[in-house]
Amino acid sequence: MINMDFSQRVVIRTQQQAWQACPQKGVWRKPLAREEAERGHATSIVRYDAGTSFSAHEHPLREEILVVDGTFSDESGNYHAGSYFRNLEGYSHALYSENGCVLLVKVHQFQDEDYQHI
């Protein structure tokens, strides 16, 4: 677990953190909070190398993404820096970035009554 005690203040200087390889080649992350290794509650900065793609998948407990830099794409469209979206339970998408991008990604953090797709 990383930073899962929400009663504690946390400051992370992400520019000093090393990128960690994800299981998907060409995808890197800087974990900010994480419940388990590859599932559960997580907040990360994620980087896609140019030309990287990720096969179709869903997040059983929803996800939200802020594009910090570059362009992030899925079958719904292209999302440029500053774009924010959230995907609901059962939403499936295949991800890619033609020129690379950096994202803030949060998964498994919605309230039970929150079912609006933005």
Q: What is the pLDDT of residues 36-84, one digit of tens each?
A: 655 556 788 999 999 998 887 666 667 888 999 999 998 889 999 999 9
86 belongs to a structural domain: yes
107 belongs to a structural domain: yes
Q: What single string gives the DSSP state of each residue in 25-68?
A: TTEEEEEEEESSSSSSSEEEEEEE-TTEEEEEEE-TT-EEEEEE
Q: Is 96 helix (H, G, I), strand (E, B) or coil?
A: strand
73 belongs to a structural domain: yes
pTM for the predicted model, two decimal places: 0.79
103 belongs to a structural domain: yes
For the chain, give the mean pLDDT: 81
Count of the separate structural domains present in the chain = 1
